Structure 1
Amino acid sequence: MTKLFLSLFLVGLLAAPAAAELVWGELPPLPDAFGFGGPAAGEHAGALIVAGGANFPEGPPWEGGQKVWHDRVFVLERGPDGQPQTQWKDAGRLPRRIAYGASFSTPEGVLIVGGEEDGVAIPDVYRLRWIPAEQRVAAEPLPPLPMPASYLAGGMIGRVVYIVADARSEGADRFDEKHFWSLDLAALAKDPQTPWRELPPHPGLARRKAVAAVQALGSGRENLYLISGEHPRYLPDGAEDAANTRCLTDAYRYDPVDNAWVEIAELPALEDDRDLPGKEAFAGERRPVAAATGIGAGQSDVLVFSGSTGRYGGLPVQDRPSFPNDVLAYHTITDTWRRAGKMPVGVVTTSVTRWGNQAVIPSGEVRPGVRTNKVQTLNVRGARADFGALNLSVPVVYLLAMLGVGVFFATRTKSTDDFFRGGGRVPYWVAGLSIFATMLSSITFVALPAKAFATDWRYYVAQLTIIPIAVVVVRVAIPFFRHIDATSAYEYLEKRFSRPVRLLASAQFVMFQVARMAIVMYLPALALAAVTPLTVMQCVLVMGLLSIAYCTLGGVEAVVWTDAIQTIVLMGGLLVAIAVILMRVDGGAAAVFSTAYDDGKLHLADMDFSLSSGAATAVWVVFVGQFFQSLYSYTSDQSVVQRYVSTKDERDARKAMWTTAWMGVFGSLLFFVMGAALYAFYKSHPPALDVGMKTDAIFPWFIATELPVGISGLVVAGVFAAAQSTISTSMNSTATALVTDFFVPFHACRTDRGYLFLARAFTLLLGAAGTAIGCWLVVLNQTSMIDTFISIIGLFGGAVCGLFMLGMLTTRANAAGSLLGCVCGFATVLWVMRNTHIHPFLYAAVGTLVTMLVGYAASLLFPPPRPGQLRALTIHDPPAGAATKPTPSRPVLV
């Protein structure tokens, strides 16, 4: 058995990861037999527009052909079926002949910036609008560049256009001027005379024919990437000295928030696999990609297509080879380059634009002096790892076993007490692990390593707030909930304030849990899609349907026991994954630590206390924000409160909370270690990255492609099962809240069996709603789901937490004041989300504090609570004793 396990382990370690597939296609060729160099391209009103360019219609330059600049505009529309039409339309003319400018798609039209006409650089800027009703384009002049410029590079971030336009000063023997400009299109819409703004120029040599693309950092903030280019030299008579023009291999990124440039990894040394004379002389040299084109792919990759190496510039034009057809990928998080594949025809001096879900590269030069009229298209199809029969069988067996656990406990569910509180039979350590698993789920298991991989450890500070939260819970919250023998947490709010307050808080909890279910389905769907033929959308549907079926079988007792098992499996899988990385990275743990430390991945706290730090992950933002989020989760969240009342007595409930707290401190640390380890692994193994992948999928991708056979199947099964258990927790607790808060007080049913039927019916409906929202998240293609989850907690949880704190900590607050406070808290968070840049971590704090302050102040306008009304409901009059378990002689809900 030992030999068999070791064999499987080695097979897993030696398994080669799959690569994403670049799926190339073609649109109808441009209606010009020679094609164009330097055309502009973009999309407007659903149509693809290609305009301008230059070619040699009278023959190649070595045969005396002269270059001709063009002003023609071609448009390709989609048919009623959504497919591209078979012919381009000749849609008009540009105001002048233009080639070698920059072009960008905007909602108002295609921007054409700079370029040249008949070899002379121009400063003109135009916006082309496609008018479908008239089947023509209209050109609108915009503020010109500060100076003429061609062969420029640029990108658009938000509504701001950025242009790199270096130049040669009069009499200089090389490019010696560097210019970097921006134009705010939002400001331009208000003032048509808005000028271009001068920005700090890029480092390095002045250049032309550089590659530019926009892509996000791990934080999600978009940067402009400037790659390669050529540094031209000139002879005394002003003619270009082609033999001494230097092609560059350096690269930089511009951060618009910091208004600063940062140098990034230099282009790699790639061996040319073509049979070219003299290529051996360049072996081991870094390869330039001058005049290439580039575009962002997925959430962290920049793809660079073809490019001139400049290695054969000394040969006669007719003897120079065609341009390489390699596609390079730069990963913005690991700062590494890799070869991503090949394109059918290598082309330079052209554009790339998005049209629908594909990238389009129209025309371009295939070799010096020769163009093509082909229009190439690209779709990046994410790879699916070959998971294998053994790995696939493990999740099936494991999930069936978990389903069996659920079925076993479902047979013990005879009443609403069993369904909602497990009959008070749950051991404290099971309840503690269940609370940890409820807070953990796939959100933590998938998103926290991804967050640490993409950024650093600043979010770990948030996990440390569980210790002070545990003190509050065991000393304040648990005694109150046990004293009133609550099934729903919001029963406390009715006793402390009024029934409308209870209903409002419960309604907000229900909305939060439905949103939470959607996210918890979405994240494991990324893992499932990486290892099966299913799409992410199909995975969400499968997860949702399985969770609905599982949850309707049993009650909370089945949920907490499966939660405990999931926690043990998941944490064990995490340790195995870390161990595999330490074995795979040269230098082991020391190398992993060194790489992560040197690149800032272990940065723990941003000690910024300035006024502007509220929009960043400063240490005070993370700590304060997470404190209030956890305060909501552990004192006001029905899914957690259910665990407190499912143990046999108050002492066990307290022990369960402390079990959760210490798991939160030390267990969560493993997720951040995992993120840093993933960074070090992929930094040292760039080809193992999947082109165009979502950042949140990095850990599932590692599990699928790098973990040993069998172990990867078990870990993936654990991810899915944990998600299902969390979803079932949400369904169960939300059904509890709906039935207990909205039906029982109004005596909607005559028997306990009737309420049990309602609970199961609502479980089905809520699961369907969560699944539908999960599908919507797939369409949205969120960058980081942990940030989305944090925002949802702040929006729905802050005001509810404020109600509980207002009730427990004060004696003057009353029902009317608390209602006003809750509404103001919710509205304030909504306003803050839409109108400020405050970090999402602070949303819960804002909601809690506004609810408490407004609620207390508004309460002063109304009569105080009656004498005796607050007995054993505030910290000023704590409960003398707590109920140990529900009285079995009566139904809990009646």
Structure 2
Amino acid sequence: MQLLDWVVLIVTLLFIVSYGAIKTRGSKNVEEYILGSNQTPWWTVGLSVMATQASAITFLSTPGQAYHDGLGFVQFYFGLPIAMIVICYTFIPIYHRLKVYTAYEFLEQRFDIKTRSLAAILFLIQRGLGTGLTIYAPAIILSSLLGWSLNWMNFIIGTLVIIYTVSGGTRAVNMTHKQQTFVIMTGMIVTFFIILSYLPDELSFNNALHIAGANDKLNALDLSFDTDKRYTLWSGLAGGFFLMLSYFGTDQSQVQRYLSGKSIRESQMGLIMNGLLKVPMQFFILLIGVMVFVFFQFHAAPLHFNPNNTKIINNSAYVGEYHKLEKDLEGVAAEKQEISMLYVNQLYQDYDNKELHNRMVALNNQEKDLRDQAKELIKKADVKAETNDKDYVFLYFILNYLPKGMIGLLLAVIFSAAMSSSASGLNALASTTAMDIYKRNVKGEKSEKHYVNATKMFTLFWGIIAILFACIGTLFENLIQLVNIIGSIFYGTVLGIFLVAFYIKYIRAKAIFYSALISQATVIYIFLMDIVSFLWLNVIGAGLTIGLGLLLQSFIKSPPDEEIPESLQA
């Protein structure tokens, strides 16, 4: 990185942190600190909702996902627009009518304190883990870039987020989301056009897509009913719908964003904005990863993208074998570039030469085989090494091919995304702990200022916990998948509780509480046994909670039936 990159990165981050801390300090009461005095306009609600979901993991991991597996991951988001409609017409009106601080307050009014506490605790577990991962993702970047300790990077990033989140609460989170979203979208759009400019002059965008398509990178739809496949149209519509319905409807990190809206209509418009823009945005980020794949058809790529693993192998007894694989890759890359250019030239004649097509695909398969052999050597050199390097693909491109200043901007994009999602997570964790756990158990009457200070202390507490989670985090198959897997394990059960609360008056507190406990234990077992793809856990968790609730209620003798207040009904 050059001096200009450091200036761009540092100035951007310091501006966001200081702006959020100075502009929003001094909240006088809980409503102002947690709900931002309900003064957030719809477009800020929409940007804040998008920024909360679009963590650094989205911009670090998604292009690498597309580089390896193509556009198929976009199916994960197909259920999102439908979920937004359901939430707008069911969840938001009830939350606003009840004037709740958290989504889980509603559950106490509908059921009892045990059910409210159970849902809140499940949220705290999964969001605490998720927030730690949103800190961990960008920490990888600087630790790789500077050779600094990963734990120190986790500490620095976590501290930056804690500063303005503790200072200004929800208003600080919402306000900084606007600046962060601007930085994020500017950086990604500019990067896309830079990648296109780096492709050979004779390669049009349309022909670049031909190369990607020939290597199965443009398969955005999978219509199969195979439940073992992670991403299909059906898992996206069904599993994705339940996951998004739970995430946006019951996860306090999102609920708190639209609870701060000026009115029901403003909150609804913010979510509809997210529903309209999220799938195209995700498709665009995946397309960037596909273009990075095309770029490396004409430029040299490393045998392994993770520099930490490269250091391990270079200091091991397997370095000779590894260098041989690198030589083999150079030969494959040279032939691949030649064949790719021949393939492009014949496309201009409206002719698709099958021999060239098959040879190009075969060379990419050879390259993949060499990379797999390299991973085996790395594993031999260090059995603890995580050999999956998807999350380093886009980072490698940024650091090695972008011009001066753009490197700093792209790193600012990833850091801004990390800070936006981490801040939302800490804000929600603190609010839930203060209002759903602490306030329910504290003795005596306490002032508004007391609960504001308590929420600030819980923000600091969860910030420290998230940093600790980040310090023990390891790369799973892929960071963005790990975050979604964690959510899928817990979201289905919580969603089942809320769906019963909204729509099934017959089921009462005791039945839903025990059905949720059984459902959660079953989902964890199914995940550990690897029975189905993780997206289906959302459907299973919600379905089990509802089904068991109906069954248990038929055996449980309920107290005399009381009419559920109209304010609690959908």
Q: Does the pair score TM above 0.5?
A: yes
Identify if the C-alpha distance between structure 1 residues 688 and 585 changes in structure 2 by more than 3 Å, giving closer, same or farther: farther
Give the total of aligned pairs: 485
Structure 1 residue matching 2:532: 3-state secondary structure: coil
Alpha-carbon distance in structure 2 between the residues aligned to 1:559 and 1:590: 40
Aligned runs of 1:335-374 on 2, under 5 Å? none
Match of 2:21 among 389, 397, 407: 407
Shift of 1:691: 4.6
Alpha-carbon distance in structure 2 between the residues aligned to 1:618 and 1:432: 27
Match of 1:685 among 299, 302, 312: 299
Q: Does 1:821 pair with 2:518?
A: no
Aligned to 1:614: 228
Match of 1:549 among 163, 173, 177: 163
Q: Which amino acid aligns with 1:608?
A: S
Structure 2 residue matching 1:458: 3-state secondary structure: helix
Aligned runs of 1:488-499 on 2, under 5 Å? 488-499=102-113
Aligned to 1:856: 550
Match of 1:717 among 403, 412, 418: 412
Shift of 1:864: 6.8
- Per-residue displacement from partner, 1:175-210 (whole Å, max 9, x unpaired)? xxxxxxxxxxxxxxxxxxxxxxxxxxxxxxxxxxxx
Residues 38, 262 of structure 2: 8 Å contact kept: yes
Match of 2:455 among 747, 753, 759: 759
- Per-residue displacement from partner, 1:328-377 (whole Å, max 9, x unpaired)? xxxxxxxxxxxxxxxxxxxxxxxxxxxxxxxxxxxxxxxxxxxxxxxxxx
Q: Does 1:699 pair with 2:313?
A: no
Shift of 1:432: 0.7
Residues 138, 414 of structure 2: 8 Å contact kept: yes
Residues 98, 567 of structure 2: 8 Å contact kept: no
Structure 2 residue matching 1:558: 3-state secondary structure: helix
Alpha-carbon distance in structure 1 between the residues aligned to 2:81 and 2:564: 32
Match of 1:808 among 499, 502, 519: 502
Aligned to 1:770: 466
Q: Which amino acid aligns with 2:428?
A: S
Aligned runs of 1:371-382 on 2, under 5 Å? none
Aligned to 1:102: none
Structure 1 residue matching 2:125: 3-state secondary structure: helix
Alpha-carbon distance in structure 1 between the residues aligned to 2:472 and 2:297: 33
Match of 2:446 among 743, 747, 750: 750
Residues 76, 231 of structure 2: 8 Å contact kept: no
Q: Does 1:574 pair with 2:269?
A: no
Quick check: which one's helix share is greater?
A: 2
Alpha-carbon distance in structure 1 between the residues aligned to 2:477 and 2:516: 31
Q: Does 1:845 pair with 2:539?
A: yes
Q: Which amino acid aligns with 1:562?
A: T
Residues 459, 622 of structure 1: 8 Å contact kept: no
Match of 2:262 among 645, 648, 662: 648
Q: Does 1:794 pair with 2:499?
A: no
Residues 803, 851 of structure 1: 8 Å contact kept: yes
Gaps of at least 5 residues in structure 1 are 1-386, 876-894
Match of 2:214 among 564, 573, 598: 598
Q: Does 1:388 pair with 2:83?
A: no
Alpha-carbon distance in structure 2 between the residues aligned to 1:620 and 1:614: 12
Shift of 1:427: 1.2
Alpha-carbon distance in structure 1 between the residues aligned to 2:406 and 2:65: 24
Q: Which amino acid aligns with 2:551?
A: A
Percent of aligned positions that are identical? 25
Higher relative contact order (CA 8 A, sep 6+): 2
Shift of 1:465: 1.6
Aligned to 2:421: 726
Calculate the aligned-residue CA RMSD, in Å.
1.8
Alpha-carbon distance in structure 2 between the residues aligned to 1:621 and 1:405: 41
Identify if the C-alpha distance between structure 1 residues 591 and 522 changes in structure 2 by more than 3 Å, giving closer, same or farther: farther
- Per-residue displacement from partner, 1:560-619 (whole Å, max 9, x unpaired)? 111122112111211111111111111141342122111001111222225xx3354333
Identify if the C-alpha distance between structure 1 residues 458 and 707 changes in structure 2 by more than 3 Å, giving closer, same or farther: same
Alpha-carbon distance in structure 2 between the residues aligned to 1:786 and 1:687: 23
Question: Structure 1-normalised TM-score?
Answer: 0.53
Quick check: which one's strand share is greater?
A: 1
Identify if the C-alpha distance between structure 1 residues 603 and 508 changes in structure 2 by more than 3 Å, giving closer, same or farther: same
- Per-residue displacement from partner, 1:24-73 (whole Å, max 9, x unpaired)? xxxxxxxxxxxxxxxxxxxxxxxxxxxxxxxxxxxxxxxxxxxxxxxxxx
Residues 803, 822 of structure 1: 8 Å contact kept: yes
Shift of 1:788: 1.2
Q: Which amino acid aligns with 1:541?
A: F
For the pair shown, the structure with the greater C-alpha radius of gyration is 1
Residues 571, 667 of structure 1: 8 Å contact kept: no
Residues 51, 177 of structure 2: 8 Å contact kept: yes
Match of 1:560 among 165, 174, 189: 174
Aligned to 1:473: 87
Question: Structure 2-normalised TM-score?
Answer: 0.82
Aligned to 2:127: 513
Alpha-carbon distance in structure 1 between the residues aligned to 2:235 and 2:457: 41
Residues 431, 643 of structure 1: 8 Å contact kept: yes
Alpha-carbon distance in structure 2 between the residues aligned to 1:543 and 1:845: 35
Alpha-carbon distance in structure 1 between the residues aligned to 2:125 and 2:235: 26
Alpha-carbon distance in structure 1 between the residues aligned to 2:413 and 2:141: 11
Residues 530, 701 of structure 1: 8 Å contact kept: no
